[in-house]
Structure 1
Amino acid sequence: MDWEVFLDPYIQAVGELKIKLRGIRKQFRKQGRHSPIEFVTGRVKSIDSIQEKMVRRNQQHDQLEDIAGLRVMVQFVDDIYEVLELIKNRQDMTVVLERDYITNQKESGYRSYHVIVEYPVDTIDGPKTILAEIQIRTLAMNFWATIEHSLNYKYRGAFPDDLKRRLKRTAEIALELDQEMRQIRDEIKEAQLLFDPEHKRVSDGVGNSDDTDEFYR
């Protein structure tokens, strides 16, 4: 098959979704309001990753849900659900599946909220609807997940028992951090707006930290 032709709509979708989600953040900050979105990253799976997952899942390429992937980082757990509602209320995408790894934390300690959306892309051959995965997580969740992924790559999932226990403990610490930050959320939001009035004049994201678009889970 022609992988370049197949992947083009996914590449287009990731680009458009990043702009739209970053636009939400920009609108909140221009109004001097706390933005539930801290930053956004995105990527399209590599061909090798797609082929490996097709074999592992016994699925065809067009059945995979996460070829197009977006990650929305937030400061507070409550922001996750605000972002979720913003996504559900949009007219340009449809949520078709939700996976709540916050209420139903994985045994490893992984926490995040995943939604699969149908997103229409306009191509020269007409509209094409593709599936995209949007992961919504706090900065603490993301820090833990990024470290765990790196270690998983090294150990291929077969963690030594001591390391497994340490990862479990650090996941508990990340959870405690999110819980503490939730308790003082209003104080933090007020302080941030006072400290950073530039929130009212936000660029379009070019050159900002959210232009880092590599992630793998």
Structure 2
Amino acid sequence: MRNLEDIKRSGFKIIEQKREEFMKQSILSDEFLDLLDKNKKPFDLLMSYYRCAVMEIETKFRVLDQEYSLEYDGNPIESIKSRIKSYDSIARKVRRKNIPMTMESLEENIRDIAGVRVVCSFPEDIYELADSFLRQDDITLIEMKDYIKNPKPSGYRSLHLIVQVPIFLQKTKKYVYVEVQLRTIAMDFWASLEHKLRYKKNIPEDEAKLIAQELYDCSVESAKLDERMQKIRSMMNKGESK
């Protein structure tokens, strides 16, 4: 298993390249650029902590998936993806939320720098996995937003969890914020395409409204598909139990 020092060495080169590219191309706040420049090592270290936290969360869900596959003869997880926010994305959020330009403020106020997305087969799997995950002693739930029961106006559906997970260092441990998103295949399919279409430029306002309505209607249809597939699985499970 790779230790923290290995992760630092492998990640720092990439981080340095991204920082240099960002500082050449970004048109965002000079104050944020100055923060990065003056806090090179602390920022690199913080990013390595997020990478470690993501691996911890991924491992927890892979273990749960393995256990469920043995107990219920099926894997509830279709895929697990992770990401660390780009410098541009962090900078935009700093500006939008008017966050003080300090390392401590970034770490405390931007709680989705590290993210893990878990794509499940059925809606019921989402809540069962979330419950099992949150029952673990070293996971602290900070915030939960259920966009499945309460979709966004756009039609977006997903279960969002902000958690803290400990990573164990050489002499101590550190708690790190991670955002976990759980969604079905249908929810993920819709969200991925909506994200691509949303950033298309030069669309007239009238057409943009029509597109937004079409996307919402597609979200409703995908939710109905999830319900039907869930019903089919329930019928099959009921038949097998007889």
TM-score range, shorter chain: 0.7 to 0.9
Higher helix share: 2
TM-score, structure 2 as length reference: 0.73
Please name the residue that 2:106 is paired with: 61
- 1:34 maps to a residue whose letter is G
Q: How many residues align?
A: 191
Which residue of structure 2 lines up, in the alignment, with residue 185 of structure 1? 233
Which of the residues 185, 196, 213 maps onto 1:165?
A: 213
Aligned-residue offset at 1:162: 1.7
Q: Over aligned residue pairs, what C-alpha RMSD do you find?
A: 2.2
Q: Quote the residue 1:207 is aligned against.
A: none
SS in 2 for 1:14: helix
1:175 and 2:223 aligned: yes
Amino acid at match of 1:8: S
Q: Choose 13-22 or 100-109, whichever is displaced more.
A: 13-22
Q: Tell me, yes or no, if structure 1 residue 137 matches structure 2 residue 183.
A: yes
Q: Which residue of 1 aligns with 2:141?
A: 95
Shift of 1:53: 1.0
SS at match of 1:26: helix
Would the alpha carbon gap of residues 117 and 186 (structure 1) be closer, same or farther in structure 2, given more than 3 Å must change? same
Aligned to 1:13: 53
Amino acid in structure 1 at the alignment position of 2:53: A
1:199 counterpart residue number: none
* Alpha-carbon distance in 1 for matches of 2:129, 2:202: 33
| % same residue | 35
Structure 2 gaps of 5+ residues are 1-38, 100-104
CA distance in 2, matches of 1:156, 1:185: 44
Instruction: Give distance in 1, aligned partners of 2:225 and 2:156.
Output: 15
Is 2:153 aligned against 1:107?
Answer: yes
Structure 1 residues 21-40: Cα deviation after superposition (integer angstroms, max 9, x where no partner): 11211222234523332221
Say whether the 8 Å CA contact 2:60–2:133 is kept in structure 1. Answer: no
* Structure 1 runs not aligned, ≥5 long: 192-217
Query: Is contact 1:36–1:82 with CA below 8 Å preserved after alignment?
Result: no
